[in-house]
A and B are shown apart, each in its own frame.
Chain A
Amino acid sequence: DQQVKQNSPSLSVQEGRISILNCDYTNSMFDYFLWYKKYPAEGPTFLISISSIKDKNEDGRFTVFLNKSAKHLSLHIVPSQPGDSAVYFCAARGPGTYKYIFGTGTRLKVLA
């Protein structure tokens, strides 16, 4: 059973607009969340994180929002750029565990 779900396999957005990538999780014990970006033929690279004690974290054009009651997090990219075209993975872990559970990924295409 998939504990971390990214229900949109793909998303297309115009350059300059907002991209919103969503992630849902089922385990209420998860307390730390990460987003990774992956280009073809490369490994995932860390993008942004959020702890369960926060509901928002920003880093430049990237903002992650966490809604614990809904067990939902989202990544906002504003403004979107063609170089943002990649696969985005969310990942979650629970307290006292070393293991991150990854979602299946969303492929973002930013159209110039």
Chain B
Amino acid sequence: NAGVTQTPKFQVLKTGQSMTLQCAQDMNHNSMYWYRQDPGMGLRLIYYSASEGTTDKGEVPNGYNVSRLNKREFSLRLESAAPSQTSVYFCASSEAPADRYTFGSGTRLTVV
């Protein structure tokens, strides 16, 4: 029972580089989310996908893009990484948009 799988677990980028964070869930959930966690800030929503084929901005979408590739997969792309994007990124999924989430184990990203 894998739940929500995120890759990679750790990444160091140089300012200006791009990368894609991958997320896949095997629970047949409809909704998926990307959050970032920063010290003293809690978890903040970057983007979400209420259902396959739809995506919407959350609280802090600037500098990010997302793709809901299919029902299982929801990727987060940083086109030109900045030090302010150093954070721990969590992907989550839920059966319906307002249900409790199942989180992945996170990706720790450092931008130097």
Taking Cβ atoms with an 8 Å cutoff, the residues of A that contact B are 2, 4, 6, 32, 34, 36, 41-46, 49, 89, 91, 93, 97-100, 102-105
Contacts and interface: CB of A to CB of B under 8 A. Distances in A.
Contact of B103 (A6, A41, A44): A44
Given A43-B4, A43-B106, A44-B90, A34 B100 contact: yes
6 contacts: A42-B105, A46-B100, A91-B43, A98-B50, A98-B98, A100-B101
B58 interface: yes
Interface residues of B, number: 25
B109 interface: no
| Interface pairs A-B: 7 shortest CB-CB | A43-B103, A98-B97, A102-B43, A104-B42, A102-B42, A46-B100, A43-B105
B45 interface: yes
B41 A45 contact: no
A105 B100 contact: no
Interface of B: 4, 31, 35, 40-45, 48, 50, 56, 58-59, 90, 92, 97-98, 100-106
A2 B111 CA distance: 26
Contacts of B56: 98
B81 to A, nearest CB: 22
